[in-house]
Amino acid sequence: MTMQNEGTREIAEEIEARTKANPDFARKLGDFGFIELEDTWGDETTILNTARVSTSNRRLRSVEDLTEKDRTLLFHLLSQHHGTPFETVYFRFRFIAPIFVLRQWVKHRISTWNEFSMRYRKPISAFYVPDREARTVHRFEVVSAEQTERYAALMERIFEFYEAEYRISCQRIDEAVEKGLIPEGKTDPAARNPYRARAREILRSAIPVSAYSDVYWTVNFRSLMNFFDLRTKENAQYEIREYALTAFDLFAKKFPLLSDLYKKAGQIHS
C-alpha cells in the first residue's frame, strides 16, 4: 500500500487506540476498515413506554423490570413492523470504509451523516484491496491475484499523483505570496488558506472510490433495522454486507434481548 500521509497515519493510530480502548464495540475490517458503536440513547424500555403511551400509565424504569408480557409485546412490535416506537432509540456509529461502500450506505438517508472532507484535509491515503474471499463467487475467483496486483499498483500511482500535484500547487502558492501576487495565508484567522483549499478541491476529483473515508452516522433503530434488513442479505454487495454484519454484532452486544427478539422475528440475514 502507498506511503501514508500524516493524517492517514494519525487515523491508523486512532483505529488501534479505539479497538484497544473499546474492544467490545470497535472492530477492524481488512487492512484499514473500521467500525465502532460509540454511543446509544434509549433501550427496550423506551420502546415499550412509547408504544403504551396511549393505553397505559405503566412505565418501565429498567430492562431488568421487563416481564414475560413485556417481552411478548416487544416481539409483537418487531414482528408486526410497528415502526414509530423504534424511532425513539438512537445509535451513533463511526466507520471508516471505501468510498464506494459509503455511496451505498448514504442511501439510508433517514439518519445524520458527517463525513471526512477532502476540501479541508488531504485524502486518506489508503485504499481497499479485495482479498481472495472478496474476489470469489461460488468458489470461482472472478479477479485473479495478478489482476489485483495491477489494480493495487494503479491505485498507488493515483495517490502518488495527488501528493506530487498538491506539492506543486503549494509551491506555486508560496512563490506567489513571496512575490506579493496574492495575500499571505488567510485573510480570516479562523479560516483555512483558500488557495490550498481550492487546490485540494480540484485534486480530490482524481481520488478513486476505493479510497477510504471517515463517517459519523447517527441513526434511530427503525432506520437501523432497515439497513440491517437490506445490507445483511446474501445478495448484498460483499463489502457493505461485511460492515452491516459487524454493525449488527456490535448492536447485539449492546442489546442482547432486543437482538434476540429481532432475530426471532426473522429480520436479520446472517
Helix (H), strand (E), coil (C) string for the chain: CCCCCHHHHHHHHHHHHHHHHCCCCEEEECCCEEEEEEEEECCHHHHHHHHCCCCCCCCCCCHHHCCHHHHHHHHHHHHCCCCHHHHHCEEEEEEEEEHHHHHHHCCCCCCEEEECCCCCCCCCCCECCCCCCCCEECCEECCCHHHHHHHHHHHHHHHHHHHHHHHHHHHHHHHHHHCCCCCCCCCCCCCCCHHHHHHHHHHHHHCCCCEEEEEEEEEEHHHHHHHHHHHCCCCCCHHHHHHHHHHHHHHHHHCHHHHHHHHHCCCCCC
With a cut of 80, say whether residue 186 has pLDDT above it.
no
How do residues 191-213 score in pLDDT, each as one tens digit? Answer: 678 999 999 999 999 999 999 99
Between CA 170 and CA 176 the distance in angstroms is: 10
Which pLDDT score is estimated for 190? Answer: 53
Domains annotated on the chain, with CATH: 6-42+89-139+209-264 (3.30.1360.170)
Task: Find out whether 187 and 161 touch, Cβ atoms under 8 Å.
Answer: no
Cα-only R_g, the chain: 23
The model carries a pTM of 0.92
Q: Locate 87 and state its grid cell.
A: 424511532
The residues carrying an active-site annotation are 231
Which pLDDT band, with edges at 50, 70 and 90, does 189 fall under?
low
How do residues 13-23 score in pLDDT, each as one tens digit? Answer: 999 999 999 99
With a cut of 80, say whether residue 10 has pLDDT above it.
yes
Which pLDDT band, with edges at 50, 70 and 90, does 54 fall under?
confident
Between CA 249 and CA 268 the distance in angstroms is: 11
Ranking 19-33, 46-60, 132-146 by mean pLDDT, the lowest is 46-60
